[in-house]
Amino acid sequence: MFSPVPMPPHENRVAFPTECTPPGHTHALHPTVTETPVITTSGLTKIYRSHRSRGREVTALDGVDLHVREGEVYGVIGQSGAGKSSLIRCVNLLERPTAGTVTVAGQDLTALAGRGPRASRELRQARSRIGMVFQHFNLLSSRTVQDNVELPLEILGRSGRQRSAKALELLDLVGLADKARAYPAQLSGGQKQRVGIARALAGDPKVLLSDEATSALDPETTRSILQLLRDLNRQLGLTVLLITHEMDVVKSVCDSAALMANGRIVESGTVSELLATPGSELASALFPVGGEATGDDRTVVDVTFHGEAATQPVISQLSRTYNIDISILGAAIDTVGGLQVGRMRIELPGRYEDNVVPIGFLREQGLQIDVVGQEPASVLVKEGAK
C-alpha cells in the first residue's frame, strides 16, 4: 500500500505484481496528481508529405489540444491510424509538428531548434527529461542489460561510476537486479520491457511516454508491466502518457483518458468525468454492460451509479409509481480507474416516447441515465491485434 508522504530513497522500491488499489477506493485521482499542467499541446497538427505516403498529404494530427496534469497516468486510445503514435512522437519532438505548440514541464519544445538526430543541445537536454518506452523495446542486442540502461547516461556524459550506480538502482527498481549481466536475448518479453522502462528512467524524467508498451506482451505480462508503470507513477510522482488500442489498459491504470479518431481528440477527461458523461463512448467502452432489447417496442436504459449509491430501491419505486414491469437485462459492479462504479441495463415496456416520464423520474433520483440507441454512431470499433 502506498503512503502519500515521500519515502526515503532506500525504500523507493517497487513491489509487484501485488494489487495496490484497495477495494472500495473511491478517489478517481490519487495524491500525486496536481492541477499543474505538465504536458500541453495546443493546435497540434502533423501533415506528412513523405515517400511513405506516396506523394499524398496525410493529416495525422488535426489540431490536437491535450492537457496532462502532473502525476497522472493519461491514456490515449484509438483505432490504428488515428494518429496516436504521431501525437507521442510530436510530444517529444522526435517528429516536428507542422503547426501548433508542445509544452512539457513549462518548456515550449516547439521553440527549440532542430529535429530528429539534428536536434539542438537545448532540445536534446529537454528530451532527456522525457522518458520513452517502445512497443518492441528497442534494446541493443550486443549490449548487456546494464549497458542498455547506461546508454542514455553515456549520451548525457556521465562518468562510468555514476552510470553503473544509476543503472543498478534502476534495475532494482524494475525488479531485474539479478539480470544486469544478461543479454536481451536471454530475457522474456516482460523482462525486456522492464529494461526498456529502466532505460527510459535513466535521465530522471518528469514524464514517461509509452507507445503501445504492452501490445507485444501476453495478458499476464501486460498486467505486471501496467502495475509497474502505475507503481512508478505513484512512488516517483512520474507523469505517464500512454498510448494504447486496448481498453483494458486504460481501465486498469489510467486516471484520465482521451479518445482519438482521424487525428483529433473526440472525447477526453478524468475517468470519473467520462463515466459521468451521458453518451460518452469511452465510458461505455470502459464499462460495458450487455443485454439486448427483447422486442421492438421496448426502451433500454443504462443506469450508472457511483460508490455507495444503490439502484435497487429506485427500480422498485419506479415500477410501483408507474405500474410498469421492468426487466433487468444486465448489471455489473467494477473498479474503473480506482473508482467503484455500478451499471445496470434495464428494459421498460413501450418506445422511448412512452417512457419520457419514468426516465425523467430516474434522472431526478440523481442517477446517470443513458438511453441505449439514442447516442451518436460509434467511432470506437474494436481493432484487431497489430
Ligand X SMILES: Nc1ncnc2c1ncn2[C@@H]1O[C@H](COP(=O)(O)OP(=O)(O)O)[C@@H](O)[C@H]1O
Name which of 167 and 209 has its Cβ closer to ligand X. 209
Name which of 217 and 339 has its Cβ closer to ligand X. 217
Could you say which of ligand X, Mg ion, none residue 48 binds, taking C-beta under 5 to 8 angstroms by partner kind? ligand X
Stretch that binds ligand X, among 48-56, 194-202, 325-333, 357-365 (CB under 6 A): 48-56
- In the bound complex, what is the minimum distance in angstroms from residue 78's beta carbon to Mg ion? 9
The answer to whether residue 223 forms part of the interface with ligand X (CB under 6 A) is no
Name which of 102 and 176 has its Cβ closer to Mg ion. 102
**CA distances from residue 132 to 129, 173, 200, 241, 255 in whole angstroms, order as listed:** 10, 17, 5, 10, 19
Name which of 267 and 370 has its Cβ closer to ligand X. 267
Pick from 26, 50, 374, 378: which binds ligand X (CB under 6 A)? 50
Instruction: Round to whole Å and give the CA distance between 85 and 95.
Output: 10
- In the bound complex, what is the minimum distance in angstroms from residue 83's beta carbon to ligand X? 4
Instruction: Round to whole Å and give the CA distance between 34 and 288.
Output: 30
Residue reference for cell 495478458: 219
Could you say which of Mg ion, ligand X, none residue 77 binds, taking C-beta under 5 to 8 angstroms by partner kind? none
Could you say which of Mg ion, ligand X, none residue 56 binds, taking C-beta under 5 to 8 angstroms by partner kind? none
Stretch that binds ligand X, among 30-38, 50-58, 223-231, 305-313 (CB under 6 A): 50-58
Pick from 22, 31, 36, 53: which binds ligand X (CB under 6 A)? 53
- In the bound complex, what is the minimum distance in angstroms from residue 335's beta carbon to ligand X? 27
Instruction: Round to whole Å and give the CA distance between 48 and 54.
Output: 10
User: Which residues between 70 and 109 bind ligand X (CB under 6 A)?
Assistant: 78, 80-86
The answer to whether residue 151 forms part of the interface with ligand X (CB under 6 A) is no
- Compute the half-sphere exposure of residue 358: CA atoms within 13 Å on the CB side of its CA: 28
Name which of 88 and 170 has its Cβ closer to ligand X. 88
Q: Is the dihedral of CA 120, 121, 126, 130 positive or negative?
A: positive
With contact defined as beta carbons under 8 Å apart, do 202 and 153 qualify? yes
Q: What is the identity of the amino acid at 166?
A: K
Give the residue among 368, 84, 25, 67 at the shortest CA–CA distance from 249. 84
The answer to whether residue 383 forms part of the interface with ligand X (CB under 6 A) is no
Name which of 96 and 124 has its Cβ closer to ligand X. 96
Residues that bind Mg ion (CB under 5 A): 84-85
With contact defined as beta carbons under 8 Å apart, do 295 and 348 qualify? no
Name which of 48 and 183 has its Cβ closer to ligand X. 48
User: Under DSSP, is residue 60 helix (H, G, I), strand (E, B) or coil?
Assistant: strand
- In the bound complex, what is the minimum distance in angstroms from residue 61's beta carbon to ligand X? 8
With contact defined as beta carbons under 8 Å apart, do 171 and 180 qualify? yes
How many binding residues for ligand X (CB under 6 A)?
Answer: 14
Q: Which residues make beta-bridge pairs with 103? A: 40, 108
What strand order describes the sheet that includes 207-211? 130-133, 207-211, 239-244, 73-78, 256-261, 264-270
Q: What is the identity of the amino acid at 186?
A: Q
- Point out which residues bind ligand X (CB under 6 A): 48, 50, 52-53, 58, 60, 78, 80-86
